[in-house]
Structure 1
């Protein structure tokens, strides 16, 4: 019995083993095949953010990012925003169970990839937001018959939509918006898609045609977007059968007629957008579509009044009825809606007051009711919930004081109250720096009073407050300010010398006030386009600095007490309007202004005169100096005497120099010295020091020497000399380097830019003589300490100060130099340090002067240093200041991480590494250089690291300006000092207590 049992067991075990080879290896092979297919995709497409983590070492690809597996087999691939460019390869469809494919937001630019016809199990396909072009193939239905979702939105596909688009029996969403389809609507074909729940054909240049009546058959539709596709006629009644609709958008068409009653009574409709058509008639008085969340029927020709039933739409968050012909009052019930966030009723004929409860019961964010006939006071609780961003009520008849709720309305961004009848003291908290969101304040033509703080908030970009009763001194306009108009107020005192801080103000109008004192010279640094100081009590002279305001086109200084001559530098300006009338000016009017175009510009200045008969009428001639015959004789005798003396002295000097030339073939006559500063040394002092023992390194275009030269009476100083030698081999590139440094550095005067003392040139060599920076470059202190054992690590306060100094130099170049300058080679090796570790920018061999501020300068070849170069530097023909912002961002990353800009390859580029670390792991102390990993420094170091990541953004438009970067660094420094002070006080208190 036992033997039989053993035999039976052995037979069963043998049979079981025999089955294993038929199943287990097959599963293993399929798993292995998918693994290899995926690795092939990575090799083909390259290592994007997600694909870079697909690792051949890892045996379980189902754990890789962007993949989903079912029972160990790949069923979904999601790779959006991976910058993929190569066409979709055939190997993708070897993944036999692939049902979900999302390749949206990449850079594909082929025609529609028919290779996907081989993915027989696809249910979900998203190729949106690429650059696919051409026409859709007539056999588009060759895609999987199982397809439920097809998204081709935001591509460049053109032509007609083929009829076969309607041959997908299971299709639930068809998204074809934002392409270039230009044929007829595929009405009959799409109306056959009985299971369709989402349809978008918007923003395509279809041939004009009526609203498709046939779409009424698609009774399962919940989302219908047909905007911007040249629809005409009326909205058909057949669409009322779409009882499941939650969104209906037919904006930017040519529809006419009234809005059907069924729209206002739809039970499930949540989002209704019909703006920018030609719809007419009144809104139904019976509104029962209580599920509406967003309603926009603006920019039509709607008439009548706003129905009181809108107060029943308790889910409503957005109400847009602007630019119609609505009249009557705004129903008070709208002020009771609990979810209302955005109400825009401007450009109608509405009357009465705003709903008294508006703002109290809902998180109101935006109120725009301008261009109506509204009256009364603003609701008391308008900003009750502290969410309000915009108050736009101009051109009405509002009156009274501003509501007290605005006193804590710290999220305000735009405040436009102009052309009303408001009174009382203006809310002081608006000027508070705590209100850091506010950018635009337009309150002109009211009856407000009040005073300003010393400095307006940083974010203010526009402040218009003319024709009110504001008093007190003028504030400083630091920050983003572009326009400041304060005409006809009661402002007094002098114009502050630091009027603009570091603002970007372009229009400044302080006319009609009580301002006295003189115009500060500092006004010349502004980039003003229009300046009006008329009708004040300003005295003194007109500063010559006006001649530097190259963008100034409007200048009005009339009706003041200005005296002295009109500066000749004003000749440099290209003024469209000039008024200096009613002052006490004297002397000759500048010659460029002596023409009839300016005949009204100098009235009632009795001391002014002209020098030409054909210039401004009714002005006296300037008194000419009499020239008698005796004067002429004496001058001729003196002239002959001087000429004779010069000839004699010149002959003697020439003879002496000729002898010297014979004695020394490298004498001073072969060298030309151009000074940019007062110097005590000669070219011979420099030339004698060009020897090997004074050589300290090599720059991009020549050797650099440290030379001791004479400095004053018996003193000496060190200078750095860059030599560009050997004229026979001096190519155009080095010649341009030399000219760029001489042109730029010779004219710059800034504490944080290395000083070019002079240049010395001959037919055989070119020399640039700089001030010597004792502590060499930042690169040496960050990256070469191991080779130079005597260097100690830089502490965090020193690093932050170096960053600020460098930012100040670049900020000057970009924003305060005219024309603006792009350095084009910002790097740690070009940031030099003085004995106190204050930083200066150096090496302008690649710099380009912008022909106009803000305009990019053409470059003929790629320059800069790998690891610091912005991405666009290599493939764009034009660059602007944002290439320097990118490079400076890399320097910030060097200062915080201690890493070099690159280790010799793209994979090790510091900017790329920092971005990946920031995206994947956030801010960790491991990011920081170990020499600054003190807990007291980490907060500031993280902030500067993050700023570096922002500066190295791939798109130039998203990078901040150097002015913004400097402001941020100064803010970090302020916080750091404040913490240090608090820490010191805390320690002192602890010591006293002990």
Structure 2
């Protein structure tokens, strides 16, 4: 009997356990479904299903323990747009939460204190704003890994973080934190990883106390407003593997103890003011020394220490842009793992290490702009991994190593301005990855093959001793400069057909003979043609007149004959020289101008209808008095002197512009600063900015549509801002404002700035591409040059689409005004600055006139009227103290455009659209008559009237009478066409101009509702 009772109790206990586990499973599943519902059912969570056969532990991003408890949620990069739901903390066993790289808005979720087992939290790459909780240690009492990178958190880092001694990883970089560099972080003695980079801290020193973080492996403090010396205490961080302090204002010398950190792998200190010599403790490193060293862009002097040659794990060494002198240690050439060596822009002398490339998988060597001598190392491509050689502007001698002719991955060789001699290895011209060859100003010789590498885009070999015939085939060649050599033969028609993409062709100062082929006119992209100082004969082809982008033409010092083709007058020349030939006849009237006074010298049989230098007058008659009067002669002399001065100035300007264009085309002159993850380079952007990709032109520059193979969507938009002298200060200010604003904010309704690219000649802003162009193009049926060709250009926007565009644009402005600290005022809101993606989602663009308001309650003083007529608030005309209400006014005009179809300046006798709408309302006329005919038949006419009246309210004369953008968004959401029940009666309630009570009653707390 006792045994039976015991068995019964055991079965009862087992049944109770099974029932408990079943209840828990049901609870966990329902919690996950609640989380999905709270997020608005994002498509990435489609596998989260209520089906009875669905195992929630196998759902996307869900990991469970053996008993079915959810322990991990990994939902990174899943396009989640809603806030973090409190229901997450109903998962009582949750210890690992990764929500990185989404679009999650709002403030830090303090309710995470209910997730009592949470140890790992990653909220990086989202749209979080505001202050971190002052009691963060109590909100996250058990957290060991905290990742908040890439948000918009503001204010000072709370001191409570100093109490979270269990932390192993703390990532706070790329936010808007201010205040002093937090010294209390030194209390986190267990910390392995610390990132504070790219914040707006008050200028200050690296706290000496950070030396207490002896377990630190990774320290990232780039662009953190650091100044002063690097503290000696950092040399106590014996476990440190990565130290990045670049882009600060550090000065002084590098503490010698840094070099004795045996585990240090990556050291980045460039763009500081470090000075003095590089010194070491005991003069050497251990076997586990540095892997990457970047000390470039500093003020370091003295020699490169020989101890660098003992770093057996060193793979990358960058010491560029310093004042280093002396020789490069030979030991560097013996390093077994060296892949990248950059020592350019120093004062180095001596020879390159002879063993360079023989002992390691070297792929890049950049030592240009030094005073190096000797030869290029013979085994530079011994391992077959080498891709790029840049040794120009030195005193190198000898020949091009034969190993480069057996280098399968070679794509760039720049050896110009040296004293190299001998023949270029034949194998070099067989390298199919070769894109750039610049060898000018040496004494190199040899012959070029008839067919150049198919991938070659630039070949510059001026002032050498190359001979033989000119190549006839190079499919992708853009620039071919071969002046000052010994090329012979003629220009075969095959050359023209075989180089269809040529933009620059310079074969001057050779021994080329024969005629200029008439097929040369097929080079439609050619902008510069120089065949001067050769032995060419025959007539100038009339087909040159069809080369519409040709701006420079030099055919001087040849044996050309016949007339000057009148077709040349169709071209807009910056430089034209046909001097020293056997041309005859009358100069065409279009070219018979003082602007070409030096273009036709030494052509005895050529005549002009005006007085041109060195050219006789056509049908000239002698003066009746037997000569020119003394006064007239003096007048001609004076005019000649003035003309000479003008020509000299003109030539100097041409030379300056040429140098600018040359600098702009040099890949080394472009600098890329990224704000997002990129899988393209500056070269792919610059090469894509061709005339056929031009989609728009503005006051400061041009906009291009550039295809990028590896980028999501395959296309980006590039805004080019010229660096013209008369606009330097204005354009520079607009550029830096746009970069500052867009680089620091993230919102799905604000255009995403991918990167900016700078050169001496221009600046480029690279954005995500909006397939459907601007709202202005769709509303007003203008020529949609920026719309993707795949999108139909017919039809108009229906009302539901227009309404969602209004809501999206309002969300973007609401975020700028109410959730950014400091707030951002756009100051040029208009329909042409509201761009539409493939789904017609609206994004606010063009922040060239935006201003950061340092205090939300204090209007900012601006120096000039800015904006667009029809959209500018009245106060812009009489005050420079502006606040967010100027954007509200402009947005109100956009609402009127959406409802009426009229343009902002289309107010008839009333001037602007806003004034017309105000008078229409004041006179009590029917709103239905104002509505765009394309949407008059919609069933949502009440909502349209609501939006029209809201537009009138937003464009009130006094700023104080206008609602805030949060109020505006509230009203739009309340009367959303998708919610019929809440919109009833809306038109009637908005009839009154004082809509303050209505707006405040529906005030939303979130610009991302």
TM-score by length of 1: 0.61
CA distance change for structure 1 residues 592 and 224 in 2, over 3 Å: closer, same or farther?
A: same
Counterpart for residue 554 of structure 1? 552
Identify the residue that residue 799 of structure 2 maps to in structure 1: none
Please name the residue that 1:34 is paired with.
28
Give 1:418 deviation, angstroms: 1.0
Corresponding residue to 2:239 among 229, 237, 244? 244
Inter-partner Cα distance in structure 2 for 1:192 and 1:131: 29
What SS class does the counterpart of residue 348 from structure 2 fall into?
strand
Q: Which residue does 1:70 correspond to in 2?
A: 65
Query: How has the CA–CA distance of structure 1 residues 218 and 521 changed in structure 2, closer, same or farther, with 3 Å as cutoff?
Result: same
**1:16 alignment counterpart:** 10
Specify whether residues 617 and 87 from structure 1 end up closer, same or farther in structure 2 by C-alpha distance, changes over 3 A only.
Answer: same
Q: Does 1:511 align with 2:508?
A: yes
Match in the other structure for 1:314? 312
Look up the match of 1:829: none
What pairs with 1:719-868 in structure 2 (closer than 5 Å)? none
- TM superposition shift of 1:467: 0.9
Deviations 1:802-846 (A, max 9, x none): xxxxxxxxxxxx999979899xxxxxxxxxxxxxxxxxxxxxxxx
- 2: CA distance, partners of 1:159 / 1:496: 70
- C-alpha distance in 2 between matches for 1:114 and 1:302: 48
Change in CA separation of 1:137 and 1:558 when aligned onto 2, cut-off 3 Å: farther
SS of the equivalent of 1:512 reads coil
Paired residues of 2:516 and 2:541 also in contact (CA < 8 A): no
1:423-442 paired onto structure 2 within 5 Å: 423-432=421-430, 435-442=431-438
Q: Distance in 1 between matches of 2:586 and 2:39?
A: 73
Give the 5 Å matches for 1:470-489: 470-476=466-472, 478-489=474-485
Q: 1:818 to 1:308 in 2, by over 3 A?
A: closer
**Aligned match of 1:108:** 104
Deviations 1:184-218 (A, max 9, x none): 2122x322222211111112232211222121222
Q: Deviations for 1:210-269, whole angstroms, at most 9, x for unmatched residues? A: 222121222221111111112111111222222221122111211111111111222222
Secondary structure at the aligned position of 1:538 is classed as strand
Matches within 5 A, 1:294-305: 294-305=292-303
Distance across 1 between alignment mates of 2:105 and 2:582: 69
Contact 2:237 2:261 in 1 (8 A): no
3-state secondary structure, aligned to 1:132? strand
Q: Which of residues 77, 80, 102 is equivalent to 2:76?
A: 80
What SS does structure 1 have at the residue aligned with 2:210? helix
Q: CA deviation at 1:41?
A: 4.4
> 1:158 matched to which residue of 2?
154
Gaps of 5+ in 2: 621-687, 697-717, 723-767, 778-783, 793-837, 841-1009
Matches of 2:438 and 2:604, distance apart in 1: 39
Does the 8 Å contact 2:533/2:557 carry over to 1? yes
* Counterpart-to-counterpart distance in 2, 1:78 and 1:540: 75
Q: Are residues 224 and 462 of structure 1, via their aligned partners in 2, closer, same or farther at CA, if it must alter by over 3 Å?
A: same
**CA distance 1:818–1:66, change in 2 (3 Å):** closer
Secondary structure of the corresponding residue to residue 521 of structure 1: helix
Aligned position for 1:530: 528
In the TM superposition, residue 383 of structure 1 has moved relative to its aligned partner by: 0.8
Return the alpha-carbon distance in structure 2 between the equivalents of residues 552 and 103 of structure 1. Answer: 55
Kept in 2, the 8 Å contact 1:288–1:312? The answer is yes
Q: Return the alpha-carbon distance in structure 1 between the equivalents of residues 788 and 14 of structure 2.
A: 64
Q: The residue matched to 2:252 in structure 1 has which SS?
A: coil
Structure 1 residue 39, shift from structure 2 partner: 3.8
In 1, Cα distance between equivalents of 2:102 and 2:275: 43
Task: Tell me the CA shift for residue 42 of structure 1.
Answer: 4.5
Separation in 1, partners of 2:694, 2:227: 51
Contact 2:602 2:615 in 1 (8 A): no
Deviation at 1:875, TM superposition (A): 5.8
Deviation at 1:885, TM superposition (A): 8.7
**Based on CA coordinates, which of the two structures has the bigger radius of gyration?**
1
Distance 1:131 1:431, change over 3 A: farther
Cα 1:373/1:502, change in 2 over 3 Å: closer
1:583-982 matches, cutoff 5 A: 583-612=581-610, 616-617=612-613, 619-622=615-618, 872-874=770-772, 883=788
C-alpha distance 619-223 of structure 1, shift in aligned 2 (>3 A)? same
Per the alignment, residue 410 of structure 1 pairs with 408
Higher RCO (CA 8 Å, separation ≥ 6 residues): 2
Q: 1:821 to 1:201 in 2, by over 3 A?
A: closer
Q: SS at the partner of 2:187?
A: coil
Measured in 2, the distance between the counterparts of 1:138 and 1:537 equals 82
Q: Report the counterpart of residue 401 of structure 1 in structure 2.
A: 399
Q: 1:816 to 1:144 in 2, by over 3 A?
A: closer
Residue in 2 that maps onto 1:284? 279
Residues 908-952 of structure 1 show CA distances to partners (whole Å, capped at 9, x for unaligned) of xxxxxxxxxxxxxxxxxxxxxxxxxxxxxxxxxxxxxxxxxxxx9
Per the alignment, do residues 379 and 75 of structure 1 end up closer, same or farther by CA in structure 2, a change over 3 Å counting? same
What is residue 371 of structure 1 aligned with on the other side?
Answer: 369
* 1:27/1:308 CA distance change after superposition, 3 Å: same
- Work out the CA distance in 2 between the residues paired with 1:79 and 1:553: 56
Residue 129 (structure 2) aligns with: 133
Evaluate the alpha carbon distance shift between residue 819 and residue 183 of structure 1 in structure 2; reply closer, same or farther with a 3 A threshold. Answer: closer
* Structure 1 residue 618, shift from structure 2 partner: 5.0
Alignment partner, residue 222 of structure 2: 227
Task: For structure 1, list consecutive stretches of 5 or more residues without a partner in the other structure.
Answer: 625-813, 823-849, 855-869, 888-951, 955-994
Q: CA 1:390/1:518 → structure 2, altered by over 3 Å: closer, same or farther?
A: same
Q: Which string of whole-angstrom CA distances, capped at 9 and with x for unpartnered residues, describes residues 310-330 of structure 1?
A: 222111111112222222222
Q: Distance in 2 between matches of 1:591 and 1:140?
A: 81
Q: Distance in 2 between matches of 1:160 and 1:500?
A: 65
**For the structure 1 residues 84 and 399, does the alpha-carbon distance in structure 2 shift closer, same or farther, using more than 3 Å as the test?**
same
Contact 1:252–1:275 (Cα < 8 Å) also in 2: yes
- CA deviation profile, 1:153-176 (whole Å, cap 9, x unmatched): 223333332323323231111111
1:821 and 1:455 mapped to 2: Cα distance? 35
Report the number of matched residues.
649
Moved more, 135-144 or 288-297: 135-144
For 2:488 and 2:409, the matched residues in 1 are separated by 31
Structure 1 residue 396: deviation in Å? 1.5
Q: CA deviation at 1:466?
A: 0.7
CA 1:60 to 1:413, structure 2 compared with 1: closer, same or farther past 3 Å? same
Q: What do residues 853-877 of structure 1 show as CA deviations (whole Å, max 9, x unaligned)?
A: x9xxxxxxxxxxxxxxx98323656
Higher mean C-alpha displacement, 398-407 vs 499-508:
499-508
User: Structure 2 length normalisation: TM-score?
Assistant: 0.60
- CA-CA distance at 1:486 after TM superposition: 0.8
CA–CA distance in 2 between the matches of 1:563 and 1:491? 22
Partner of 2:909: none
Q: Aligned partners of 2:617, 2:608: CA distance in 1, in Å?
A: 5
- Secondary structure of the 1:326 match is strand
- Aligned partner of 1:60 in structure 2 is 55
Contact 1:134 1:157 in 2 (8 A): yes
Residues 875, 202 of structure 1: alpha-carbon distance in 2 compared, 3 angstrom cutoff: same
CA distance in 1, matches of 2:104, 2:434: 41
Pairing 1:261–2:256 present: yes
Give RMSD over aligned pairs.
3.4
Matched, 1:293 2:291: yes
Q: Secondary structure at the match of 1:415?
A: strand
